[in-house]
Structure 1
Amino acid sequence: MSILARMRGVHLSSSLDDFVASGTPYTFQQDSAPAQKAKLVQSWLKKNVPNFWDFNTWPPNSPDLNPCDYYL
C-alpha cells in the first residue's frame, strides 16, 4: 500500500469515526465503486455502521432506494 493510500485511510477513518460517533442519522449508499467494495472498507463498515448492508445486498440500479436521486 502506498504512503498516500495509507494517509488517506487514516484521514478517512478518523473522519468517519467522528461522524458515526456523533449519532447523526445517515444512509450510506454504495454504488459498487471499487473503493467501496474493498475488503478493508467493507470490514470497517460491518463493524461500525448499524444495520449495514454490504454491496451484494443493495440492488443495482434501484431508483426507489436511491435517495441521492431525489434529495440532493
Structure 2
Amino acid sequence: MNETAFNVATQYVTEAEQRRAQQISLIAKLTGEAQAHARQVLTEIERTLAIARTHHAHFLSFADEP
C-alpha cells in the first residue's frame, strides 16, 4: 500500500469531518433563507465526506491484500 496516498486519504476524511461539524454548528445559529442555504452546503460537504471515506476504505482494503 502507498502510505502517502493512505495518509492523504486519511487527512481528507479528517478535514471533511471537521468541515461538517463546523457547518452543523453554523446552521444552529442561522434562521430562514440563510439556514436553508447552509443546509444545502452541508449536503455537499456530506457528499464529499462520503467520497473521502470510500477512498479511504479502498486504501484499507489494499492493505489487506497479500
* TM-score bracket relative to the smaller structure: 0.3 to 0.5
Which of 1 and 2 has higher RCO (CA within 8 Å, sep 6+)? Answer: 2
| The structure with more helix, counted as a fraction of residues | 2
Q: Mark the structure with the bigger radius of gyration.
A: 2
